[in-house]
Structure 1
Amino acid sequence: MDSLKLSTILLSLLSLAIITQAQDPTSLSHYCPNTTTFTRNSTYQANLNLLLSSLSSNSTRNNINGFYNVSAGKDPDEVYGMFLCRGDVSNSVCRNCVNFATKDVLDKCPIEKVAMIWYDECELRYSNRNFFSTVDQDATVLMSSPDNGTVQPESFNQLVETTIYDIAARAASAPSGAKKFAVQQANYTGVQKLYTLVQCTPDLSTAGCSRCLEGAISKLGNCCDRKQGGRVIFASCNIRYELYEFYNATAAADAVPPPPRVALSPPPASGSETRRKGKGGVSTVLTIAIVIPVAVSLVLLCLCFCFLSRRVKNNKYSARENDAANEITTVGSLQFDLSSIQDATNHFSAYSKLGEGGFGEVYKIWKHWRDGTPLEVMDPTLTDTYLRSELIRCIHIGLLCVQEDPASRPTMATVVLMLNSYSSTLALPQEPAFFLHSRTNQGSIPSKESFAVQSKSYSIPYSGDEGSITEVYPR
């Protein structure tokens, strides 16, 4: 009797597992513009069916990192297609999602030559144009939670933006062909954590992935300002954040490549030869005994020459300075002589500049950081010489180093770790001890560059059952 009950329980669990595994993927949205269509039973449709069959069959492979692209046919009826599975889902979930998508997309886009369909677990697209290795932001899906997230919305928005920028840099720097995927959790309150995810198609370059993710981050203000969760989905990349763990943390950790390690030179083998003879029979020891004294003598001569040259220059400079001082003090148009001006300005110290005072540069950076415009401190001519995410991270670290509380300032070892690894979460900086408040800056409105840009358009809330209402629109 007991064995019969045990068999029944095992059979029920097995059936439940099979049903769960075979569940349809969670649909998010689709996009199929009717600007270009094909006729039924045409060559294009035949090539499309062949392409979808190839995508479905290749979804069973285990060595493709959840991504595959292929083309079918010849121009002008050639079709290009690809699928991308979320970086933390299993091979079986990926396969089930792709197989479902190859059928579902034909129901939603029966005669369109261009189609994109998104699910929580994967995405699939095809087109009559070659889009491989190309950043595509033409179609955008924006999703947001209906709930406002926090009692400190500005701090929350800043934490979201900073965390997503950190993992965006990690995902973009993944080697070619590897998963360009990263997740990270950050502490928001004592009981709440922030969970973030970013992903690009693996065929994008590092610069292409960075550009795509930065474009997605810039859209967050349109839909998700102060919301507990949000998504921005492009054809080439996507980002998401929530206040609950929406991904498989264990699988995600395995999917994210570790940061590159510094290659160390191996130590010399013990017992290696210290004396060898060349073609002429002169030993290494004799060669060293001759070369080293000569080299040391040359170095000493160079140092002596440099010292004497600097001493002569200093003497000449002092003589010129004295002559200049005497000349200035004799000019009748000056109301004060040079020595009085030097005493008053502490020898022309930068701290005595009119209108700036001490720490003027740091005050300016903090003001832009607080207003959400940290890139305003950069020279516009250098725009193309740096990655936006890396620059913001460097500014962030610099502000942490000038905190009022010494305990809040990172050590040099921590700073080195922050600069060399994007896996560490950065604390939110507070205003520096020397920051001077200005009434005109209280409650300033972030600029369009900030994450907290507000827009009444494109804001699409989740439905009450934690589903989603989405809107797709071309740029």
Structure 2
Amino acid sequence: MVSSRWLFFLSAIFMLTALAVAQSAEPLNHFCLYEKGNYTANSTYETNLNQLLSSDVSSDTGSNSGFYNSSYGQNSDQVHAIGLCRGDVNSDVCRDCLNTAKSLLPQRCPNQKEAIVWYDYCMFRYSNRSIYGVMETSPPFSLLNTQNVSANYVEQFNAVLRTLIENLTSQAKDGGSLRKFAANSASAPEFKTLYALVQCTPDLSVDDCEGCLRGAKEAIPQCCNGKIGGRVVRPSCNIRFETNPFFNSTTDASAPPAYNTPTTGSKGNSTSRTVIIIVVTIVASVILLITTICIYRRVRRWPWVKPESEPVDEIGSVESLQFDFDAIKVATDNFSEENKLGQGGFGVVYKGKLPNGQAIAVKRLSTDSGQGDSEFKNEVLLVAKLQHRNLVRLQGFCLQRNERLLVYEFVQNTSLDHFLFDPIKRAHLDWERRYKIIGGIARGMLYLHEDSRLRIIHRDLKASNILLDGDMNPKISDFGMARLFLLDQTQANTSRIVGTYGYMAPEYAMHGQFSLKSDVFSFGVLVLEIVSGQRNHCFRNGENVGDLLSYAWRNWREGTALDIVDSTMSSGSTSEMIRCIHIGLLCVQENVADRPTMASIVLMLNSYSITLPVPSQPAFFMNTSSIESEVSSKWEHSIGVTESDERSKRSSV
């Protein structure tokens, strides 16, 4: 019989192989352009798209130049595609990268007529409109090296960078119809060498290529100022710079690389490079294998790592969910800045990848976050027992000395406020999507209040705690402030007010009384924010700034409720919009007993045969300065979460 040690050895090799494959297939970023429309299953467009994607890039004669252009179908069902490889990679790498991209993109963006994906070595996109020869600057994204230039040399470094990129832009824009690429280096301060490359899709005109690259160059200070490396990426062009070499400097930037006909003497260089690659791969595999064995032995020896001064008996029921801290460090690349998804008052959230290729989101609680051991245990105990499509799923946790980590499923499109309160991105949220989001949140809250084995009060329902998956389905997150109720319990009191300004029910903020109806109040505020596209505490109407609840109530009384609807929505069911405003106002009534339950709300959203009661005036306690000062110190931490600088690692969460 094969020993357990050998079984583990073989499984470790398999895991390393899977990790290598998963890493090679992971893109830098991708965008599903929802605003460009969807196609239906088994439609002509889907057939044409599948036909186009099924053809191997190697069959396209343009692939030797690193540029791929193809189309399939006719009229409105025609599919257009463009692919571009980095100008210094060889034809095999180019072909493999583009074929991988063609395979992955429809999986990441199902039913989307237009989508785009970037890898380190290539970009691939398709659309139902002609995209050949069209300069596209959106959607853009940027990446940065976390290391800083020495403070005394930032200006000199930036001057060298500007000059280098300007020279490369002049060189690339004059490239031919098959290649617009340039790469070079220059001496930088502190005895460093600065490497940079620029590239346009070769279908662009000289002016369009230059315009695209100049726009990308102007974006560098916003993303990467004072950093030793970074990139600005657009569909039609990209710029990258580093103080370490990252491109093949032997490639002639003035002409397409002779991928299939190596020059004299290149055989030896190619052989040397091949040997180096093999040696590095073997060494890296051995190191990874040793690391995996060490982690395995540690986990076997200490399956439960207790903090030095805190018993964790309460979490024993979910002990099987514990992750090893070293494994999380590996998954998040030692909590690197590149993997940072967002930051709030309770800590930082990072993207990670497990050895099996599964993407995760890791919330690393800060030591001064205010969410101590009790909140941490609370979130683990509560969320581990919850299973619903509109709740973020907890994968596990980690406790080691002062480290407290929560491991969740990774949700692609970050939080609702990332879209809703952005003047550009909120255009992606048409009314159909917003109505679906409202319904999903309502179902998730109903599950928490009545349908799960536990009765849970969330106490911090807000736009930044609603995450959106790849299909823009909402998932309620962050249960650090949640409270467990007995099934027949209706109300409780607390002396510790926690929550977020603008979403807290008056009886809770003033007297510490919370109940199911406290969450209903927060839900009502959230519904009005989704309909209007504006924050409750900073509602703008022309030149006037006020609070959303007052404005919604005034318009409801005057019969002009549609005036609060987000003007970026050009179409949608006005009856659904008015009904949602009506429901929102019912939820934010000052009298707790007058507010509907989540069960009633779900019924109201799904049945027009139900007559809605007339709402009474909402609570306007947020405008009372004395109350605001009374609870401001307790709100301070959560206000930081609300206004947090949540950003996507490469898109983005």
The TM-score, its normalising length taken from structure 2, stands at 0.36
The TM-score, its normalising length taken from structure 1, stands at 0.49
The higher-RCO structure (CA 8 Å, 6+ apart) is: 1
In terms of fraction of residues, the more strand-rich structure is: 2
